Amino acid sequence: DIQMTQSPSSLSASVGDRVAITCRASLSINNYLNWYQQKPGKAPKLLIYAASSLQSGVPSRFSGSGSGTDFTLTINSLQPEDFATYYCQQSYSTPRTFGPGTKVDIK
């Protein structure tokens, strides 16, 4: 199974900040990497697919980059509604595996 790791596990930031979350795969997954946002008590929401493609309806302040084993989710100008937990997930092979999550909270 492909192991996914994320860093940091949590971070505190202010509205307007630029935030970057990194995700690493245990082997090369090309660009088969998706990012999700989850708020408490809610289902995850797809933000980015194929490492850098913005899902329809997702604000352009979210962006993704990377290929191979190292990926980054960037949130430009953090908004109040962005405080949540973010997960990366590989879709290169089954079983599909997720990172452990990065919790973004208010400083």
Partner 1 sequence: QVQPVQSGAEVKKPGASVKVSCKAPGDTFTTSGISWVRQAPGQGLEWMGWINTHRGDTNYAQKLQDRVTMTTDTSTRTAYLELRSLKSDDAAVYYCATDYGGKGRFEYWGQGTLVTVSS
Query: Which residues make up the interface to partner 1 (CB under 8 A)?
Result: 32, 34, 36, 43-46, 49-50, 55, 87, 89-92, 94-101
Considering the complex, what minimum distance in angstroms separates the CB of residue 91 from partner 1?
A: 3
Q: Which amino acid is at 60?
A: S
Identity of the residue, 76 or 91, whose beta carbon is nearer to partner 1 in the bound complex:
91
Which of 23, 39, 26 lies closest to 103, judged by CA?
A: 39
Q: Which residue has the tokens 């994320």?
A: 6
In the chain the first and final C-alpha atoms are separated, in Å, by 36
Shortest CB 77 distance to partner 1, Å: 26
**Toward partner 1, which CB reaches closer, 16 or 41?**
41
